[in-house]
Structure 1
Amino acid sequence: MLGPRDENGYANLDWSHMVPPEDIKTLENAPPVLHVGNQRMKQIGTLHTVGALNNQKVKLSGYVVPLESDDDGKMVEFFFVPFYGACIHVPPPPPNMLIHVKLVKGIDTPSLYSPFTLKGVLRTEVTQNAMAASAYDMVDASLGTYREADADADRLRQAFE
């Protein structure tokens, strides 16, 4: 389920491994992701998680959907998602393919279309807001520049297009 750990103990995680086997059928019947229009589409899927991922140090590549900023305009809360534009004008990923992140210190809000690598301790923790629900969150999180060696975010992006 998890790839080999790096020198800091982080294991590569593939987004598809966050979905329990019984929920895979939901993904197979998901509506297509279309990057057109300006209406948000309904989120499908469940809050079921893979228990073995709870409290694991992981890293994965994906995209940022900003949620909250601090008084200085720095992003302090976001969803991390497997494809760009998620939750904005396309259907949100299933809750068990969304990670809710709160940063200790705010950062400049990144582009929605730029891939990043997220590292931290993954937890099975539900978050729900007006935008979407997530079945996972991450603590001790850091967001870094995506490098091809980190993961294959391009393959995942193409799978959702």
Structure 2
Amino acid sequence: MRQLSQKWAQKVTVLVMVALGLGISPAWGAQPADFDQLSPLVQSRWNEDDQLLDLSWEDLIPEGFRADAILDQYDPEKIAQLTDDDPLIVEIMEKLQKAYQSAPVVGKLEGMPVRLGGYIAPLEITPEGVTEFLLVPYFGACIHVPPPPSNQIIYVKTEIPIAESLLEDAIWVSGRLSIDAADTDLALAGYTLYSEHIVPIEY
């Protein structure tokens, strides 16, 4: 009985220390605070093995938001007949650009441990490799074509440089996601991710 009582006493001591924050922290990977505030779809992407959210790019877009909704105001057949220098086309492109740059983020993802697959648009290249980049959903985004909406761009900072040989490869990036925006030379990123792990995606 004494041995049983000692075991219970130890468990109670641990619980008290956790409750008071006395040197014992919860294990990495337990579902984070406010996890239950996420949408059921996003919650379903929780990876028990890696203890993080396996996000899709659609998860970064608030429900019901469309960056190109401005096009609904115009006749698509009429737009198709216009030239690139037509004043109406110029007006539409300016409105689209503003909508893309002000695309809202999903605030409930703040601080969540996540993993997301995408491509690198490099910002900072050192002799050791890439240390800052934009993670984008498709190859060439922000470089060869106009950038996607800001909520489809993530600014990534990594302490482990990425080899330039990976610049054309799809990668998995894991870390803590923040809803802090980052205005870079290439594009406005709606999110920031502090990377802890980056690996190529193997097909």
The alignment's TM-score, normalised by the length of structure 2, stands at 0.60
Q: Which residue of 2 aligns with 1:33?
A: none
Query: 1:4 is matched with which residue: 28, 46, 49?
Result: 46
Is there any run of 5+ residues in structure 1 with no aligned partner, and where?
30-40, 149-161
Q: Does 1:95 align with 2:182?
A: no
Q: Does 1:54 align with 2:54?
A: no
Cα deviation for residue 61 of structure 1 reads 1.0
Q: Identify if the C-alpha distance between structure 1 residues 66 and 103 changes in structure 2 by more than 3 Å, giving closer, same or farther.
A: same
Q: Which structure shows the bigger proportion of residues in helix conformation?
A: 2
SS in structure 2 of the partner of residue 130 of structure 1: coil
- Give the whole-Å Cα distance in 2 for the aligned partners of 1:27 and 1:19: 14
Q: Identify if the C-alpha distance between structure 1 residues 107 and 114 changes in structure 2 by more than 3 Å, giving closer, same or farther.
A: closer
Q: Does 1:123 align with 2:178?
A: yes
SS in structure 1 of the partner of residue 145 of structure 2: coil
User: Structure 1 counterpart of 2:169, which letter?
Assistant: S
Equivalent residues in 2 for 1:1-161 (5 A)?
1-2=42-43, 3-26=45-68, 43=97, 45=100, 46-70=102-126, 72-148=127-203
> Contact between 1:47 and 1:134, CA under 8 Å: does it hold in 2?
no
User: Structure 1 counterpart of 2:152, which letter?
Assistant: M
Q: Map Cα deviations across residues 71-125 of structure 1 (whole Å, 9 max, x no partner).
A: x241100000000000111121111111101111222124443211111111101
Cα deviation for residue 66 of structure 1 reads 0.7
Q: Map Cα deviations across residues 13-43 of structure 1 (whole Å, 9 max, x no partner).
A: 01011011243253795xxxxxxxxxxx985
> Contact between 1:100 and 1:127, CA under 8 Å: does it hold in 2?
yes
Q: Which structure shows the bigger proportion of residues in strand conformation?
A: 1
Query: Which has the bigger relative contact order, CA under 8 A and spacing at least 6?
Result: 1
Matched residues, number: 136
SS in structure 1 of the partner of residue 118 of structure 2: strand
